[in-house]
Amino acid sequence: MNKRINATNVFRTYGTIIAGVIIIIMFSILRPQSFATISNAINITRQISLLVVISIGATLIMAVEEFDLSIGAMASLGGVLAAKLSVNGIPVIFALLIALAICFIIGYVNGYIVTKFKVLSFITTLAMGTIIGGFTFWFTGGSTVFENIPKGFTFLGTKTVLSLPLLSIIMLLLTILFWFIMRHTVFGRKLYAIGGNEVAAQVSGLNVKMNKNLAFALCGSMAALTGMLTASRLGSAHPTGGDGFFLSAYAAVFLGRTVFKEGVPTIWGTFIGAAILGILANGLTILQIPTFMQDILTGMIIITAVVVQKMGANKHE
C-alpha cells in the first residue's frame, strides 16, 4: 500500500523526466542505427537550439503570469530587420544589435500598455503581433530577403566549434545565463514574487510595473534573437519565418513547468521541455511518422503532462 503511494508520488514529481527517458529508450530500441548515435544527439541540440532561445523569453513572461502572443511575429521581424540592415551594408554585428534593440523597445511597449492601462496581456500582445506582422510585410514587400546577404551574416547559424554547432553552444550559454538571472539575481527573485502574488509583491514595496515591463522587453529580445539566428542558419529571412515558433515555445514552457514539483516556470524546466519536444520530433521523423501524426502525439503528451501535474497540485491543497 505504502509503496504504491510512493510510486505515484515519484511519478508526479519526476513524471516528465521519466517520460522523456522512456521516449529516448523507445527510439533507441526502435532505431539504434540512426537515433542512438552521437551525431544524431548533436543534431538534436542544433534542432532545439532556436526553440530553446525563444522559450527562455517565454519563460520570463510566464514567470510573471502574463502571456506574450507577439513572440512569433517578433521573431520574424528580428530576422528580417537584421537581414535587411546587413544587406544595406551595415556591419553584421551592428545589424544584429540594432534589430535586438528595436525588439527590446517593442517588448517594453507591450509591457507598458499592459501595466499602465491594466489591459490583458493576451489582447495587447495579440494586437501588437498583428501590427508587427504588418510592418514586417511592409519592409519586405512580402518576399524573402536572400539576395546579397553578406557571408558574415550566416556565421552564427552555420559555424561549428570542435564539431559542435555554434547554435548549440549559444543555446547552452544563454540557458546558463538566464538560469543564473532567474535563480541568483534580485531581478529573477522579483519576477517570481510578482508571478506568485502580484498584490503581495506590490504591498511589499516591489516595483511591479517596471519589472514586468522589463520581462516583456527581454521576452521580445529573445524572440528577435531567435529570428536572427534562424535567418543566419538559413541564409535568408522570410517575413513569417518566426511565426511557427510561437506555439512550440509555450508548449516547451508548459511542459517545463511540469518538470519540477513547484510547478513554476524555470529555465532548466523549459530547456527539458524543449528538449523532449525536439527529441520527439527527431525520433518520429526518423521513424517516418507523418507530420500530422507527430502533431497529434505531441499535443497529447503536453495535455497528459499538464493534467498529471494539476492532479498532484490539487492533492496538495
Partner 1 sequence: MLLRTDGVTKKFGSMYALKDIDINIEAGEIHGLVGENGAGKSTLIKILTGVYHLDEGSMIWEGKKVELSHPMDSHRLGINVIHQDRNLIPSFNGIENIYLGLDYEKTGIRVNWGKMQEKVEKLIEELGISVSLNKPASSLTPPEKTLLEMIRAMMTECKLLILDEPTASLTDKEAQILFKTVLRLKNKGTSILYVTHRLDEIFQLTDRITVFKNGQRVKTLETKHTDKDGLISLMTDNWTRENYDNKRDKGEVVLSVRNITSRDQKVKDASFEVHAGEILGLFGLGGSGRTELLECIYGLRSMERGCIQIDQQEVKISNPAQAIKSGMVLICEDRRGMALVGGLSVKDNILLSNIDQYAQKGILNEKREIDDANAKIKSLSIKTTGYKQPVIELSGGNQQKVVFAKALMTNPKIFLCDEPTQAVDVKTRAEIHKLLEEKAKEGNAVVFVSSDLKEVLEIADSVQIIAAGRTRDCLVNHNLAGEKVLQCCYVE
Residues of this chain that interact with partner 1 (CB under 8 A) are 184-187, 189-190, 192-193, 196-197, 199-207, 262-264
> Please, how many CA atoms are within 13 Å of residue 8, restricted to the half-sphere of its CB?
9
Among residues 137 and 192, whose Cβ is nearest to partner 1?
192
Can you read off the three cell numbers belonging to residue 148? Answer: 546579397
End-to-end C-alpha distance for the chain, whole angstroms:
22
In 3-state terms, what secondary structure has residue 68? coil
Among residues 179 and 245, whose Cβ is nearest to partner 1?
179
Can you read off the three cell numbers belonging to residue 72? Answer: 512569433
Among residues 28 and 185, whose Cβ is nearest to partner 1?
185
CA distance 233 to 49: 11
Which residues, at least 6 apart from 291, have a Cβ–Cβ distance to it below 8 Å? none
Among residues 168 and 221, whose Cβ is nearest to partner 1?
221
What are the Cα distances from residue 22, in Å, to 101, 217, 283, 305? 42, 37, 12, 14
Among residues 160 and 207, whose Cβ is nearest to partner 1?
207
Task: Report the nearest approach of partner 1 to the CB of residue 181 (Å).
Answer: 9
Task: Report the nearest approach of partner 1 to the CB of residue 271 (Å).
Answer: 21
In 3-state terms, what secondary structure has residue 289? coil
Residue type, 253: V
Among residues 245 and 260, whose Cβ is nearest to partner 1?
260
In 3-state terms, what secondary structure has residue 160? strand
Rg for the chain, CA atoms, rounded? 20
Which residues, at least 6 apart from 259, have a Cβ–Cβ distance to it below 8 Å? 16, 17, 266, 268, 269, 272, 273
Task: Report the nearest approach of partner 1 to the CB of residue 316 (Å).
Answer: 9
Among residues 112 and 146, whose Cβ is nearest to partner 1?
112
Task: Report the nearest approach of partner 1 to the CB of residue 103 (Å).
Answer: 22
Task: Report the nearest approach of partner 1 to the CB of residue 220 (Å).
Answer: 20
**Number of residues assigned to the chain:** 317
CA distance 174 to 182: 12
